[in-house]
Amino acid sequence: MESQQKSSTNPLSLHVSAIAPAGADTILLRLADRDGAMLPPAAPGAHVTLLLPGGIDRQYSLIEAGDALREYVIAVRREPNSRGGSAAVHDGLRPGSAIGVLPPRNDFPLVTDARHSVLIGGGIGITPLLSMASWLGTHGRAFDLHAAFASRPALLLADRLDRVPQARLHFDDAAGGPFPLAATIAAAPRDAHLYCCGPAAMIQDFIAMARADGRDDAAIHFEYFAPPPAAAPAGSFTVALARSGIELAVPPGKSILEVVRAAGIAAGSSCEQGTCGACEVRVIEGIPDHFDAVLSPKDKREGKSMMICCSGALSDRLVLDL
Ligand code: FES
């Protein structure tokens, strides 16, 4: 069973109730209703979206999940190449600041009845895994938590990690190399569910190594905290929607999903960054150019389906089952 969660999209009017340092270039923020009202519940792995000044929306994983929350707790690292989000949080928010927040959504659900879970976080990617570790610990489930950082000075959320007896820290510099993903995956029980959140390269290695170790895709869970390095398609092409009976041009820089929606055709989606699988569509004809992190290499080669939020076309025309 997965602790799936969908949310309303009506923003909550909250305020920053506290800010505290949380390690290298990172702050911990508590967001609460000014009158102390209960907040919509959050399942382990869920995130909220902050509606920041200047029309910037940013997703941040919740460090604490639960059905009876009076605060959302998030950690925000100042990104050296910030596109505006982390700088707006670090420089613009102070205790008492008003902030619009979209309620929790969960694109990284925890399988709550797994016999064993292995949680691997890199850097700020540790945040959703802390909420999972808390849930697993509270419910007496077997799990391991691995937190990988470049060095001890790069350690984040040390007090939170201290509270998890199962947590193991890895420092690249002290260990003489990156976190041993392959060995950790190989050592996990065969029926374990594996989770990873961290830099894109780490997640891509995690997926490849878990598959190479013979793990079932259903047991491999991951969440990017930024879109995968591959972006939306660059060139223009045509999509024919077989069920709707229309043909649409997809211009450079637009996703198929955007074009289809603009034409009034309903299409499912969730993450809109190629990581959840919600926008998968069957390909009837043509060659997709896959940019998602959902389909296996074999599925991508076969090209029978594609994620229309991020993938494009190698052929001039695609015929889709839409
Ligand atoms: S909406 Fe998540 S993969 Fe496309």
Please report whether residue 282 resides in a domain: yes
Q: Do 42 and 128 belong together in one domain?
A: no
C-alpha–C-alpha distance, residues 299 and 305, integer Å: 8
Q: Which atom of ligand 1 is nearest to the CA of 307?
A: 4
Share of the chain above pLDDT 90, in %: 66
CA of 71 to the centre of ligand 1 (A): 28
C-alpha–C-alpha distance, residues 117 and 2, integer Å: 13
Q: Which atom of ligand 1 is nearest to the CA of 308?
A: 4
If one counts the domains in the chain, the total is: 3
Q: What is the pLDDT of residues 108-158, one digit of tens each?
A: 899 999 999 999 999 999 999 999 999 999 999 999 999 999 999 999 999
Please report whether residue 7 resides in a domain: no
C-alpha–C-alpha distance, residues 282 and 275, integer Å: 17
C-alpha–C-alpha distance, residues 181 and 201, integer Å: 12
Q: Do 208 and 156 belong together in one domain?
A: yes
Confidence of residue 58 (pLDDT cuts 50, 70, 90): confident
CA of 179 to the centre of ligand 1 (A): 28
Instruction: Answer yes or no: is pLDDT of 35 > 70.
Output: yes
228 close to ligand 1 (CB < 6 Angstrom): no
* pLDDT given for residue 87 in this prediction: 87
Q: Which atom of ligand 1 is nearest to the CA of 277?
A: 3
Distance set, CA 168 to CA 126, 160, 165, 251, 280 (Å): 12, 12, 8, 47, 36
Residue spans of beta strands (DSSP E) within the chain: 12-21, 26-32, 47-52, 56-61, 71-77, 98-105, 116-122, 142-149, 167-171, 193-198, 220-224, 237-241, 246-250, 280-285, 288-289, 305-307, 312-313, 317-320
Q: Do 63 and 128 belong together in one domain?
A: no
The CATH number given to whatever domain includes residue 298 is 3.10.20.30
Interval 248-273 mean pLDDT: 88
Q: Which one-letter amino acid corresponds to residue 230? A: A
Pocket-testing residue among 224, 279, 299, ligand 1, by greatest number of atoms within 8 A of Cβ: 279
C-alpha–C-alpha distance, residues 99 and 56, integer Å: 12
Q: Domain boundary residue among 105, 133, 158?
A: 105
Q: Which atom of ligand 1 is nearest to the CA of 310?
A: 4
Q: What is the pLDDT of residues 189-229, one digit of tens each?
A: 999 999 999 987 898 889 889 999 999 988 999 887 655 54
138 exposure class (CB count in 10 Å sphere: 0-12, 13-18, 19+): exposed
* pLDDT given for residue 293 in this prediction: 77
**β-bridge mates for residue 125, sequence order:** none
Q: Do 81 and 140 belong together in one domain?
A: no
Q: Do 266 and 188 belong together in one domain?
A: no
C-alpha–C-alpha distance, residues 232 and 263, integer Å: 19
276 close to ligand 1 (CB < 6 Angstrom): yes
Which residue range forms the structural domain that includes residue 246? Answer: 237-320
Instruction: Answer yes or no: is pLDDT of 6 > 70.
Output: no
Nearest to 54, CA basis, from 23, 79, 84, 12: 84
Q: Domain boundary residue among 224, 248, 282?
A: 224
Please report whether residue 111 resides in a domain: no
Q: What are the phi and psi torsion angles at 142 (to 5°)?
A: -80, 130
> Nearest-5° angle of CA 309, CA 119, CA 133?
110
269 close to ligand 1 (CB < 6 Angstrom): yes
* pLDDT given for residue 305 in this prediction: 95
* pLDDT given for residue 83 in this prediction: 60
CA of 3 to the centre of ligand 1 (A): 18
Instruction: Answer yes or no: is pLDDT of 232 > 70.
Output: no
CA of 276 to the centre of ligand 1 (A): 5
* pLDDT given for residue 54 in this prediction: 75
Neighbour tally for 186: CB within 10 Å: 14
315 close to ligand 1 (CB < 6 Angstrom): no
Interval 5-17 mean pLDDT: 76
